[in-house]
Structure 1
Amino acid sequence: MKRHPLATRFDGAAGILAEIDARIPETRDHAAETRAIVDAYHPKRLSLRVEAVVEETPSARTFRLRRRDGAGLPPFLAGQYVNLFVDGTSRPFAISSSPATLDHYDLTVRRVPNGRISNLLIDSVEAGQVLTTTGPMGTFHHNPLFHGDRVVFLAGGSGVAPAMSMLRDIADHGLDREFHLVYGSRDDADILFRDELDSLAARHPGITVDHVIADPSPAWTGRTGFLDADTLTDLLGPLDNRMVYICGPQALYPYALGQLTSLAHPRKRIRFEANGAPTDPTAQPHWPNTADPSEEVTVTFRDTVFRTRRDKPLLDALEDHDIRPEAACRSGECSLCRIRVLEGEVHTATEAKLRLSDRASAYTHSCVAYPLTDVELDL
Structure 2
Amino acid sequence: MKRHPLATRFEGAARILDEIEARLPETRDHSAEARATVDTYHPRRLLLRVDAVLEETVSAKTFRLRGLDGAMLPPFLAGQYVNVFFDGTSRPFAISSSPAELGFYDLTVRRVPGGRISNLLLDTVEAGHVLTTTGPMGTFHHNPLFHGDRVVFLAGGSGVAPAMSMIRELTDRGPVRELHLIYGSRDASDILFGEELDTFATHPGITVDHVIADPSPGWTGRTGFLSADTISDLAGPLGNRMVYVCGPQALYPYALEQLTTLGHPRKRIRFEANGAPTDPTSQPHWPITTDPTEEVTVTVRDTTFRTPRNRPLLDALEDNGIRPEAACRSGECSLCRIRVLKGEVHTAAEAKLRLSDPATGYTHSCVAYPLTDVELDL
Which residue pairs with 1:252 in the alignment?
251
Which residue pairs with 1:360 in the alignment?
359
1:290-338 deviations in whole A, cap 9, x for unaligned?
A: 2100100000000100000000000000000010000000000000000
Which residue pairs with 1:94 in the alignment?
94
Please state whether the residue corresponding to 2:8 is helix, strand or coil: helix
Which residue pairs with 1:370 in the alignment?
369
Equivalent-residue separation in structure 2 for 1:103 and 1:13 (angstroms): 46
CA 9–91 in structure 1, closer or farther in 2 if over 3 Å, else same: same
Which residue pairs with 1:133 in the alignment?
133
Please state whether the residue corresponding to 2:306 is helix, strand or coil: strand
Q: By how many angstroms is 1:25 displaced?
A: 2.0
Letter in 2 for 1:63: F
1:46-88 deviations in whole A, cap 9, x for unaligned?
A: 0111111111001101000011111110000000000000000
Normalised TM-score (structure 2):
0.98
CA 230–36 in structure 1, closer or farther in 2 if over 3 Å, else same: same
Equivalent-residue separation in structure 1 for 2:2 and 2:313 (angstroms): 56
Equivalent-residue separation in structure 1 for 2:220 and 2:103 (angstroms): 39
Which residue pairs with 1:59 in the alignment?
59
Which residue pairs with 1:181 in the alignment?
181
Equivalent-residue separation in structure 2 for 1:230 and 1:243 (angstroms): 18
Which residue pairs with 1:157 in the alignment?
157
- 1:50 maps to 2:50: yes
Which residue pairs with 1:18 in the alignment?
18
Which residue pairs with 2:75 in the alignment?
75
Q: How does 1:312-327 map to 2 (within 5 A)?
A: 312-327=311-326
Which residue pairs with 2:240 in the alignment?
241
Equivalent-residue separation in structure 1 for 2:12 and 2:80 (angstroms): 45
CA 124–2 in structure 1, closer or farther in 2 if over 3 Å, else same: farther
1:204-227 deviations in whole A, cap 9, x for unaligned?
A: 121000000000111211110000
Q: How does 1:147-226 map to 2 (within 5 A)?
A: 147-202=147-202, 204-226=203-225
Q: By how many angstroms is 1:189 displaced?
A: 0.4
1:255-307 deviations in whole A, cap 9, x for unaligned?
A: 00010011111111000000000000000000001210010000000010000
Does the 8 Å contact 2:6/2:13 carry over to 1?
A: no
Q: Identify unmatched segments of 5+ residues in structure 1.
A: none
Please state whether the residue corresponding to 2:201 is helix, strand or coil: helix
Which residue pairs with 2:288 in the alignment?
289
Which residue pairs with 1:38 in the alignment?
38
Equivalent-residue separation in structure 1 for 2:233 and 2:24 (angstroms): 67
Equivalent-residue separation in structure 2 for 1:300 and 1:83 (angstroms): 27
Letter in 1 for 2:234: L
Equivalent-residue separation in structure 2 for 1:22 and 1:236 (angstroms): 62
Letter in 2 for 1:54: L
Q: How does 1:278-357 map to 2 (within 5 A)?
A: 278-357=277-356
Equivalent-residue separation in structure 1 for 2:300 and 2:74 (angstroms): 35
Equivalent-residue separation in structure 2 for 1:2 and 1:133 (angstroms): 56
Q: Identify unmatched segments of 5+ residues in structure 2.
A: none
1:135-184 deviations in whole A, cap 9, x for unaligned?
A: 00000000111111100000000000000000000000113211100000
1:240-267 deviations in whole A, cap 9, x for unaligned?
A: 1100000000010010001001111111
CA 78–344 in structure 1, closer or farther in 2 if over 3 Å, else same: same
Does the 8 Å contact 2:175/2:204 carry over to 1?
A: no
Q: By how many angstroms is 1:346 displaced?
A: 0.1
Aligned length: 378
Letter in 2 for 1:178: E
The runs of at least 4 consecutive aligned structure 1 residues that moved more than 6 Å come to none
Q: By how many angstroms is 1:8 displaced?
A: 3.0
Deviates more, 1:7-16 or 1:350-359: 7-16
Please state whether the residue corresponding to 1:297 is helix, strand or coil: strand
CA 31–258 in structure 1, closer or farther in 2 if over 3 Å, else same: same
CA 378–2 in structure 1, closer or farther in 2 if over 3 Å, else same: farther
Please state whether the residue corresponding to 1:356 is helix, strand or coil: coil
- 1:109 maps to 2:106: no
Which residue pairs with 2:268 in the alignment?
269
Please state whether the residue corresponding to 2:96 is helix, strand or coil: coil
Q: By how many angstroms is 1:7 displaced?
A: 4.3
Q: By how many angstroms is 1:360 displaced?
A: 2.3
Q: By how many angstroms is 1:2 displaced?
A: 6.0
Equivalent-residue separation in structure 1 for 2:117 and 2:32 (angstroms): 37
Please state whether the residue corresponding to 1:277 is helix, strand or coil: coil
Letter in 2 for 1:328: A
Does the 8 Å contact 2:56/2:192 carry over to 1?
A: yes
